[in-house]
Structure 1
Amino acid sequence: MNTPAHLIFGAAAFARPNDWKINCAAILGAFAPDASLYAMAGWHLRVLGTPPEVVFRELYYSDAWQSVFAVDNSFFVWGALLALALYFRRSAGIAFAGAGLLHLALDFPLHHDDGRMHFWPVSTWVFESPVSYWDRAHYGDIIGPIEIAVSLLLLGLLWRRFRSAIARGLLLLAACFQIAPVFFWLLVFDG
């Protein structure tokens, strides 16, 4: 799934009105499994001037990048974080780890040839799903619009849950960011 969708799903599952600590933890947890991708891709795209095709068609699949993704996309790592948060009864930790696990659970079935080693360090196996959230050759033209539709429905739920002008402004921003990747990927891969 696209990162904005993960933030929306994480917020819908864990964010609560008037609890900024839990809300921030949920958003950060939903983002954390993709943070290394943004850092590494951002460095290459913005600082080094590496073409997007190289970043997303070569570097993304390199052993070095996949080794980093294995850690921040491991069900075992996130499960351990959730177990610790539950043991110590830390609500923010539960929201953080729960949103991270939700991210992985949503990504696992939606990556065809660009999946992650979700069972690291026990295994380096990568599930190759028959469907993809973006790849048209693997139903991305169906899954992508479903992701957007469900995200927009969840934004509606969050709109009802959160009534402050700031929260609603952030929800509108989230809607824009959820729709924007469609155009980004069309530019990167020339439609």
Structure 2
Amino acid sequence: MHTPGHAVINLAILSGAVTPEHTLPIVAGAILPDVPIVVLYLREHYLRGLPEERIWSESYQRPFWLNLIHGAHSIPLTLLGTLVGVATGSSLVAIFFGSMLLHALGDLPVHAVDAHRHFLPFSHYRFISPISYWDPRYHGRKVALVEALLVAGATAWLWRDSSLTARLLLSAVLAWYAFSYWKAFLR
């Protein structure tokens, strides 16, 4: 899934069970697993001037980046963090890692050739899904549309209880999804 969608969907899933003080840990946990990917991309593209093809085929494949990215998407590690938060009575820690866990679970079924090692440190197994959220060879056009519709539904769910600032952010996410879908599949 795309990073902004993780934040919106995680907020919709978890918002009914938590207080407003948990909003930041939910969003941070939803976004954090993809931060290394963003850092890698910005570093390689803007500082080193590498084209996207080389970033994904070479830089992304380096062990340091793969271990960092896949570790951030580890279901056992995020589950452990969630359980530590629960065991210590820290709802903020539990919610943060719970949101990371939802991110990993959301990515599991929609990564084909770019699948993460979701079961680190116990296994290097990569579930190669038959569908992808971005790759047209694996139904990317349809999966991306379903993802965008899920984010739109989650936005509608969150809208009624949102502040003006939150509504502006949710609107920006929807606009980004529309533009991204157009750019990737319609132009």
TM-score under structure 2 normalisation?
Answer: 0.90
- In the alignment, structure 1 residue 44 sits paired with structure 2 residue 44: yes
Tell me the SS of whatever aligns to 2:157: helix
Contact 1:36 1:69 in 2 (8 A): yes
- Structure 1 distance, partners of 2:20, 2:108, is 29
Equivalent pairs counted in the alignment come to 185
Quote the offset at 1:167 in angstroms: 1.7
- What is the aligned partner in structure 2 of residue 63 from structure 1? 63
Tell me the SS of whatever aligns to 1:61: coil
- What is the aligned partner in structure 1 of residue 148 from structure 2? 148
- In the alignment, structure 1 residue 7 sits paired with structure 2 residue 41: no
**More deviation, 49-58/25-34:** 49-58
- What is the aligned partner in structure 2 of residue 91 from structure 1? 91
- Structure 2 distance, partners of 1:71, 1:94, is 18
Contact 1:13 1:99 in 2 (8 A): no
Tell me the SS of whatever aligns to 1:106: helix
Quote the offset at 1:53 in angstroms: 1.5
- What is the aligned partner in structure 2 of residue 179 from structure 1? 178
Per-residue CA deviations over 1:11-39 (Å, capped at 9, x if unaligned) read 112246x9553101000000011011111
Contact 1:117 1:124 in 2 (8 A): yes
Same amino acid, percent of matched pairs: 25
TM-score under structure 1 normalisation?
Answer: 0.89
- What is the aligned partner in structure 2 of residue 81 from structure 1? 81
- Structure 1 distance, partners of 2:30, 2:95, is 9
- Structure 1 distance, partners of 2:173, 2:98, is 20
- What letter is aligned with 1:176? A
- What is the aligned partner in structure 2 of residue 127 from structure 1? 127
- Structure 2 distance, partners of 1:109, 1:61, is 21
Structure number with higher relative contact order (C-alpha < 8 Å, ≥ 6 residues apart): 1
Structure 1 runs (4+) deviating above 4 angstroms are 183-186
- Structure 2 distance, partners of 1:172, 1:141, is 22
Unmatched segments (≥5 aa) in structure 1: none
The CA RMSD over aligned residues, in Å, is 1.9
Contact 2:132 2:140 in 1 (8 A): yes
Unmatched segments (≥5 aa) in structure 2: none
- Structure 1 distance, partners of 2:180, 2:60, is 17
Per-residue CA deviations over 1:22-74 (Å, capped at 9, x if unaligned) read 10100000001101111111111121111112112332233332121121111
